[in-house]
Every structure is written in structure tokens, then in C-alpha cells.
Amino acid sequence: MIEKVNYEKFEKKIKTLKNRIKELKLNQGSLKESEKRYRTLLDFAPYPVATFTLKGEISYLNPAFTEVFGWTLEEMKNGIASFVPPGLAPETSEKLRELFKERIVTRYVTKRLSKDGRILDVIARGAVFSKSEMGLAGELVIFRDITKETRTAKSNETMLRISMALPQYPDLEDLLDYISNEIKRLLDTQGALVILLDEETKELFFPGAADDDKITKRKLKKIRLPMDSMASGKVIRTGRPVIVNDSNEASGLYPLRDEKFGYTFDNYVLVPIYSSERIIGVLAAFNKIQGIFEQSDMQLLEMVAGTVGLSIENARFSDELKLSYKDLASLDRVKTKAINHLSHELKTPVSVFSGTLNILAKKLGQLPDDTWKRSIARAQRNVERIKRLQNEINDIILEKDGGTNEFILYLVEQCTDLLENVLEEKAGDTPVIESIRKRINNIFDIKETEPEAIQLDKFVSQCIEGLKPEYSHRNLNIDQNLKSTPEIFIPVVPLKKVIKGLIKNAIENTPDQGRIEITVSKAESVVKFAVKDFGVGIKKNQQQKIFKGFFTTQETSSYSSKEPFDFNAGGRGGDLLRMKIFSKRYDFDIGITSSKCRFLLEKDDICPGKIEACSFCRDHNDCYQSGGSEFSIMFKTM
């Protein structure tokens, strides 16, 4: 009885075991089918996939992994592959511990090395799978190469930053240092250079440098090398960029470069800098910190070069202009000193000559006038012109102060001939001392220039009255509209020169029978003085030049033989420059509005000097409406 029960149980267990074996076989087949399906799926996955055992040993790589990174399953298993970059091993181990603990890592941004030495930016996602899921337990890691995306974003950010920053660096050296630092940061290198070509000497120099070593950076900026002593010279000649990743490839080709720089280049990339169609230099990055230079690095550098080329050329021109300006300023100072000296030297001889003419005129007084008077008058007239020119130069350039000790010493040195002249000319007429004092004041302009409170309408009226004898030979209608205004505060002497100068200018540019308006009025917080003539006017392109000094609006032959206040007598162009200088010194504004006479369109057209003689004008109004000028001055009130 007992044996029968055991047999039945045994038979039942065998049957159960057979069913279990059958079930296991079915499951094993299913697992194999699942493994086959999963492998097929992973084989066709577009992203690199790797599986690892729970011990960390590589068990599978899909084709995309080998395509992206270059490593094969055998190389990974044998430990030949340097997949994890140096320095990232501790970080990778930490992420593996996190993976085992959490059983999943959703996003891990890191770097991995390719077989050809490139460092790729990747996103890794990992999960731990069970035996029931994959046929065996292990780890599944999916990688996505984001190198192109990362570099594109980085380059766009850099290009935007460079483009926005370029206007902030007008100085060449600051601009080039900024560009060099951006290149160094963008390409992750030991250093970067902006190399420019000196087109005169055909030398290369390095005004822009970025280097981890500041001493090296300063040293680089002092170096100048012939074009043939560097690979950059070849880039400039050919216009083709260069990448060198093997230092042995170019070893010994440029010994002078290596000697001057003091270190070797493990790798470098060079691209030309264009300005319009001309190559002006090279952008260089050298000694990449991780990996090697790739085509993408060269493309990034070309983008930078294309962006900064014009700015570099502009900053270079700006620096050259600044140097030229300094040279011109230095020459201008020398010129001013020379004119100052010549002006002082001119004063005494002209004064002596003028006095001598007066003495000669007295001694010739007993002879008939027709034998000498015209010649003496012509000589005196030209002496006066020299005096006026000399006075204009004084006001424009010297900005003198007659009370300085140096000037008095100069006066004493020059007074021998002067005293002799005065004694001969003035003896018996006035006290000698008073005569000498007046002559010295007239010659050397020793007078007070302290500002005074002036009622402008009355002052202008007095100036006009004082000028009437000088233009009495002219037939002009001068209208005065002088309104009472608040007082202005200015020295009398320069104000008188400005008022008389503008009135004289208007008279000399207005034909006989013409019209001039002189006004004084109050405009808001200023007092306005204006002189408007209905004369020949000034061309628009000449109006900006008339205050710049010794610029005339007509040919010299048109006025050189005429007297002051004659029509078209003109001048040397110094009066208006003197007024402009006075305006800055005494804080008033001077301006002009003008239109050229519409009947004087051609260069050789000349106003006849009298309205009745003009073939274009039927009456005076035709002339008044044809052109003219208005000079205005704005004085601040007290």
C-alpha cells in the first residue's frame, strides 16, 4: 500500500517536471525570439547603443556606435579603446553608481573620445535591465552625438557676442586682444593670435594675442618675422586655410619662428583674414587642450575671420589716422611757433618802414606832388595791407597778451630803430615820451582786454559812424534796425573787430546801389547782431570753409589791387577765422546763411559792381532777390 502511494506521487512529480521542462523550453524559445527582436531593433537604432554586464564588461555594440565613435566590440572588450577621456573617469564611475542605485539615468551630458582622436559631446541615457527582459541581466546605454549642435550653438553665441562687442573696441590692439581671447575660448586652445601683414616691409607681426602665460603674451606682441618664416605667410599668399595636427609633419620647417616664440606647436589651425578682396592677415589657434583640430574648428575660425576682417581694417586705419593726426599736430605746433616768431620779427621792420615813408613824405613835401606823391601813397597803401595781415595773424594764431614780461623784453631789444624813427618824425609836434608810448601801443597791441558791460545797439551805432568815412565813396543803402537790448559782457577790442569786420565784409560783397541791413535784437536769452547784404552771395560748398581761415570765395586777381571797402576788394580770408576764434574765446556763436547770386552761375561770371550795369537786372529789386548773405552773432546776456 505504501509503495503504491510513493509510486503515484513519483509519477505525478515526473509529469509536473516534464510540464515544467516543456514550459521552460517554450520560455527559452520566447526569450531567444525576444533577444533576437531586441538585437534587431538595436542594430537598426540610429543612435549608438552599448550593453554591459552587471560586472561592467562590454557585451554588445550596435553598428551606429562603431559608425559614430569608430570603436569595435573587440577593441572595447580588449581594453584597447580609450573611450572615456582622461579626467572624466571619476565622473563616469559616479554615474554608474547612480545607475545601479536608481536603475535609470535619463540625461547625462558628457564627452567621449572617438577612435580618430576627436572629442565628441554626447548625451547618455542608461537603464538596468533584468534577465527576464533581455535574456540576461545587465546595463543598456544609449548615446546621442550632439557635437555639431553644441558647436553651432557655441559659435552662434560667440559670433553674436563678437558682433555686438566690435563697436566697443575702436583701438586696434584692444580689438585684436578681444578677438584672440574669444577664439581661444571658442576652440578651447592654449593660445590664439591675430597675425597682420606689414605690406611695406612684408613682415608679420602679432598685435593681438591670447595665451595662458601672460609673459608669453607680452613677448609675442614684440615679435616681427618675415613672411617665409611662418606657415601664416603661405596662407596669406595662397588664401587657403591650414590645419596641422601632427607637429612632426611641420617639424624643422620654421626654425626662426620656433626660436622667437620659445616653444613648439603641437597642432594649429590658420585661416586668412579678408578685407574686401585683399588678405590683411591670419587668425591662428594653437595647441588644442583636448583632442585635435577638425574641419569644424577651421570653419568656425573662418566665420570669425569673416566677421572681424572689416573691423580690424577700420581700427587699423583709425590708429594710422591718430598717428597722422599726432604728426600733423606736432607740425602745426612747429608752424605756429614759426609764424609767431616771424610775426614778431615783422612788426618792427614794418613799423620802421612805415615811419620812414612818413619821414620821406615830409622831406619831399617841397617838391611837386606829381613827382612823388603817387609812389609814396602806393607804398603806404601796401604797408597798411601788410599791417592788416599781420594783425589778423596775431589774433588767429598768437592769441597774445601784450602785458607779458617776455614781450616787453622783446620790445626793448627791437626799439633802437623805432626810437630813431619816432624822434625824427615827431620832434617838435608832441612830447617824445607820449609819442613813443602811443607808437608802442599801436605796434604791439598793448591794450586792456578785460570784459565790459556793453549796450550792443549803441556800440554798433558808434561802429557804423566810425566806418562811414571809410566807405563814403560807395553808393549803398544801409538800413539800421538797432533795438535796445540787455547788456552783454565782452572785451571792447575783439567786439569792435567783429562788428566792423562783418560790416566791411558786407560792403565789399554788395554792388553799388545795393542794400545792406544791420540789426540788433533780443531773441529769447540771447542778443542777436546780424548783417544782411543783398550782394553776390557764397556758394553752398564754400560756406563750411570760410571760417577755417585764409579761404577766399573769389580769385585773388579780382580784389588784389583794390582798396578796403571797394566792391570785390575781398581779403585774405583771415577776418572770418579771427571771428571764429573770438567766438570760442569769448563764448558767442557766429553763423551764416547765404545763396549765390543766380546770375553768377559760371566760374568766370563776375558782378559788374553796380546794379545799373548788370544786364540781368531790370531794377534794384531784381538784384535784391538774386542772392546775398546774412552773418549773425548770438551773444549771451548778463
Dump the DSSP string for 389-438: HHHHHIIIII---TT-HHHHHHHHHHHHHHHHHHHHHHTTTS-HHHHHHH
Orientation of helix 295-363 relative to helix 432-444, angle to 10°? 150
- Class assignment of domain 45-145? alpha beta
Q: Do domains 45-145 and 452-636 have the same CATH topology?
A: no
* CB environment 74-87: b (16+ within 10 A), e (fewer): ebbeeeebebebee
Which of residues 409 and 439 earns the better pLDDT score?
439
Indicate the range of 290-299, 444-453, 469-478, 567-576 predicted with least confidence: 444-453
DSSP 512: B
Q: What integer pLDDT is reported at residue 38 of this predicted model?
A: 62
Residue where the block lists cell 602679432? 206
Backbone angles phi, psi at 546, to 5 degrees: -70, -25
Cα distance between residue 576 and residue 550, in whole Å:
9
* H or E stretch covering 299: helix 295-363
Q: Label residue 394 by pLDDT band (50, 70, 90).
A: low
56-94: pLDDT as tens digits: 788 888 999 999 999 998 888 887 778 888 888 888 888
C-alpha torsion angle, residues 227, 231, 236, 240 (rounded to 10):
160
pLDDT, tens digit, 9 for 90 and up, residues 460-482: 999 999 999 999 999 999 999 99
- HSE (CB half, 13 Å, CA atoms) of 583? 17
Ranges of beta strands (E only) in 39-95 are: 49-52, 58-61
Please name the helix (run of DSSP H) or strand (run of DSSP E) that holds residue 516, with its range, or none.
strand 515-523
CATH code reported for the domain at 452-636: 3.30.565.10
Checking if the pLDDT of 412 tops 50, the result is no
Place of cell 559760371: 602
Fold held by 151-316: Beta-Lactamase (3.30.450)
Q: E strand or H helix at 633, and its extent?
A: strand 628-636
Using a pLDDT cut of 70, give the percent of the chain over it.
78
Question: Quick one: pLDDT at residue 407?
Answer: 45
**3-state class of 533 per DSSP?**
strand
pLDDT bin (cut points 50, 70, 90) of residue 130 is confident
Rg for the chain (alpha carbons), in Å?
47
pLDDT at 520: 95
Closest Cα partner for 57 from 111, 87, 96?
Answer: 96
The Cα 398–Cα 337 span in angstroms is: 9
Residue 492: per-residue pLDDT: 92
Residue 408 pLDDT exceeds 50:
no
pLDDT at 133: 52
Per residue in 581-631, pLDDT (tens digit) is 888 888 899 999 999 999 887 877 889 999 999 989 989 999 999 999 999
Confidence of residue 338 (pLDDT cuts 50, 70, 90): low
pTM: 0.45
| Residue 431 banded pLDDT, cuts 50, 70, 90 | low
Extents of the domains making up the chain: 1-39, 45-145, 151-316, 331-444, 452-636
The DSSP secondary-structure symbol of 377 reads H
What is the Cα–Cα distance from 181 to 208, expressed in whole angstroms?
A: 9
pLDDT of the residue at 105:
87
d(CA 566, CA 558): 11
What is the tens place of the pLDDT at every residue in 213-263?
888 888 888 889 999 888 899 999 999 999 998 767 666 678 788 788 877
pLDDT of residue 339: 65
Question: Which three three-digit cell numbers place residue 113?
Answer: 573620445
Q: What is the pLDDT of residue 439?
A: 61
